[in-house]
Structure 1
């Protein structure tokens, strides 16, 4: 892969610079807020009728509110930092992490939203983080508390207590190096990557996560407990590098949180903040093409976009929060792409997709469930190999069952619950006909929940039922092959090998969000926005003291 384009020397300018951001997902909104704080006049272009992207929120005529995507919020100080930004005051040299974390102290339990966040949205902590329900009906409540974890391990697999202590120490070392020290590193060139390889090898962070976890635990159940989390960011535990063990410590350090009103309430807060800073959002404004000036390699520059309506908009920079593959394949002409060619983009391995069932049911106090529930099927490794490898639907499945009305009853009519259950499935490279298989799998998912006794009498209590398949991701969200999380976070698609936030093909063209560095998941997407903002500040000579 070639190195980044040589950047022209910044020059003073009299007028305010302008920016266009494609997509009003978390990444687009976070970058828009940061661009306003850098002094740009920023417009976000969203093809849907409202903000959120994958985090779009659906309100039904019968009174239910469903978050259609992300529901797990962590690292609340990332959110606080966005809400604290001011117009024309970049704040890029502010500490990336609170002093108490860098000093080794654990953040106080129960602290969610800071003073700026609380002006826009109410965040509350969720405990336990997850209830992990095994196929035999036993469960493990993970809450990040070492004593609670040790007690449950002693009940489930007492021979693995010593292994847990070693895992805990080694995962913390990976977290401190991989997240606290390297989390905001943009791997834009080979030397930057090579400098960290010795540390990753020393930490044993390049072997697969499941293999890493298996060093410490003999129990199959505990191997699943301490490796499943990467599925929530589109990663296969059998192939993601063990650096993702840091997720365990990210959650343990800052907890898991919920935005009252749903994740959509956080999206609305970010929209409000962006507009208060002077930014503008246009809905129903799908982008057809990135406009490029110049014909010679190294001289091509993004100058604006053409909308699907035919309208052309000019700007000093363009950034895409859209799907990485379709951004290049559909919106940048092939002759303007040497590095991100059709061949390279199509050769990348895309993450899995999802079938998600949104349902409402008459409530009650008989639910042996928590806010977040992981329902593991009878197979783990074999099932993952089918989803990510052979890309076929197996005869069984696992689910993530989200019941937010246990925390926030306002999301459903009185006396009812709103829930969704998410089933990992292959992306559309599988050739699966979802018009045929979607309804069958959606019905099977609810039947499995009822069979396990998790929502007794679910079929009789059901009052709302709908679902989405990979076709929704491919069509409505314009995601290549219907992937749900961007490029699969394998070792060969991480760090330098993951799409770069500063385009190698076009000057003044940038990426942000799940498809760019560092990767998928709400905290990573917010980190991505800060990384991209720092690159823009550097390229435009706006901010002299940029932390690297």
Structure 2
């Protein structure tokens, strides 16, 4: 029985521990915090409960599949709630509600952006085929150029839309830029403006509309708590309050880990779920990998950061569960976040108001507001300690004026502010880049850090900084890829991958499978 140490109790680390322990390995998890989940954990402020990071849960079929692979049912551990509608988008002069119901979307588009309805039908048809083609690239290892030469990869390559941006691609379906933005705002969390993001990522909005977005009662933090419960049932030890000083290397092998206490622990394999940039510059700073030396890591392209307000308020506002507010000049806002790295006065804001779905998160008649503003990462020269209070005031003013949150400041009972510096210093997020490495084509697939981290024989990566990329379900998929690589190496049976399920709305199913 081989001993495997997992560094980090985030969703990637917990998933890999579940799969490996289920396969018979002796697994232990080491976590520096006194809680599991990493960015997918809870924040408790007085009587108010918040999710620390992820709040959108899509690809629920994958989450269920992972639990099924260990002989369990997800619903025995958490209570998923399908959101209807999915979210509301707020422009300078209009609002647009996004649904997973085909008829509702057609009517909303016809009313808000007349003449674009048939483009939506074509978008569903063509993007489903794109997702079917690209899925194999997201579910299997991409550790070498030969992986790009498989029949599935060759079939998928045209769908990467080389030379075509996401806005270019959406322009093939919709003639209104604001409607195009409704299908592209997710790209900012990949580290890119939709004007530079590869057209392949048109699948992101489709996944939401075809398969739904979910909330878990108590917050998405309940998912990682459920995973920890499964590990407890498997007798897997999770060491909380146990930070790692370094991963101990000798020639082409990892010998073990050294705790900050100085204790050296030996193992057969190590799975690293720490933030990628942090792992390379702190835990593996003497790595033999020339490609991922600290100097090379610094030169890579990274996602934006986020400025967070977690607000416990003594009232309830008329808001959807998810609301995305676009800057009045969205393109300039994206350029300031990603390129010039300036702090926008005309900002985009995401607000989660989960009490409309889940009243367990706040006292009766009150609510939690999770407020996120994408901002430049810490490669910028922004002095957050000097500007954070001024930026907070501007953020609240914008919410009051554009979302109609009257007297918001006066209703705040509890509050926590979290800046990019906090992400870096308190959560070990490299340069505060909340969504990890960017997803430019030169940082995807074989060009992204590999799940099997060479030059070491027994070092494996999971999380947003490795293949296939960031986002909660994709991180979980990275864990299955890495677990399967270990199983394959040892001649053991690997975990299967199910085909894509049918869409939630039968009309979307019929359209996406129709012959064009």
Q: TM-score, normalised by structure 2?
A: 0.92
The aligned residue for residue 137 of structure 2 is 182
Aligned equivalents of 2:157 and 2:492: distance in 1?
37
1:441 has 2:391 as partner: yes
Q: Specify which of 428, 432, 435 is matched with residue 478 of structure 1.
A: 428
Deviations 1:423-480 (A, max 9, x none): 0000000021111222222221121111124322212222122210111211111121
The aligned residue for residue 13 of structure 1 is none
1:160 has 2:116 as partner: yes
Displacement of 1:82: 2.8
Q: Are the counterparts in 1 of residues 69 and 495 from structure 2 also a CA contact under 8 Å?
A: no
User: 1:115-264 alignment to 2 at 5 Å?
Assistant: 116-136=73-93, 138-179=94-135, 181-195=136-150, 199-200=155-156, 202-203=158-159, 205-206=161-162, 207-264=164-221
The aligned residue for residue 52 of structure 1 is 37
Q: Specify which of 374, 384, 397 is matched with residue 424 of structure 1.
A: 374
Q: Are the counterparts in 1 of residues 189 and 303 from structure 2 also a CA contact under 8 Å?
A: no
SS for the counterpart of 1:78 is helix
Q: 1:82 to 1:462 in 2, by over 3 A?
A: same
The aligned residue for residue 322 of structure 1 is 274
Displacement of 1:171: 1.5
Aligned equivalents of 2:403 and 2:432: distance in 1?
32
* Number of equivalent positions: 496
Deviations 1:216-247 (A, max 9, x none): 22212101101112334444322221211111
Aligned equivalents of 1:254 and 1:28: distance in 2?
25
Aligned equivalents of 1:82 and 1:356: distance in 2?
30
Instruction: Name stretches of at least 5 consecutive residues in structure 1 with no aligned partner.
Output: 1-15, 90-114, 295-299
Q: 1:82 to 1:545 in 2, by over 3 A?
A: closer
Aligned equivalents of 1:57 and 1:209: distance in 2?
33
CA RMSD across the alignment: 1.9
Q: Are the counterparts in 2 of residues 371 and 402 from structure 1 also a CA contact under 8 Å?
A: yes
Q: 1:291 to 1:202 in 2, by over 3 A?
A: closer
The aligned residue for residue 247 of structure 2 is 290
Q: 1:154 to 1:316 in 2, by over 3 A?
A: same
Aligned equivalents of 2:184 and 2:450: distance in 1?
27
Aligned equivalents of 2:371 and 2:408: distance in 1?
13
Q: 1:201 to 1:85 in 2, by over 3 A?
A: closer
Q: Are the counterparts in 2 of residues 538 and 546 from structure 1 also a CA contact under 8 Å?
A: no
Q: 1:78 to 1:204 in 2, by over 3 A?
A: closer
Displacement of 1:333: 4.0
1:21 has 2:3 as partner: no
The aligned residue for residue 74 of structure 1 is 58
SS for the counterpart of 1:80 is helix
1:41 has 2:26 as partner: yes
Q: Are the counterparts in 2 of residues 174 and 205 from structure 1 also a CA contact under 8 Å?
A: no
SS for the counterpart of 1:368 is coil
Aligned equivalents of 2:185 and 2:256: distance in 1?
41
SS for the counterpart of 2:308 is strand
Instruction: Name stretches of at least 5 consecutive residues in structure 2 with no aligned partner.
Output: 499-516
Q: TM-score, normalised by structure 1?
A: 0.87
Aligned equivalents of 2:287 and 2:223: distance in 1?
40
Displacement of 1:335: 5.3
Q: 1:545 to 1:455 in 2, by over 3 A?
A: closer
Aligned equivalents of 2:347 and 2:83: distance in 1?
26
Deviations 1:309-362 (A, max 9, x none): 111111110011111122122112435223322333222111110001000112
SS for the counterpart of 2:50 is strand
The aligned residue for residue 112 of structure 1 is none
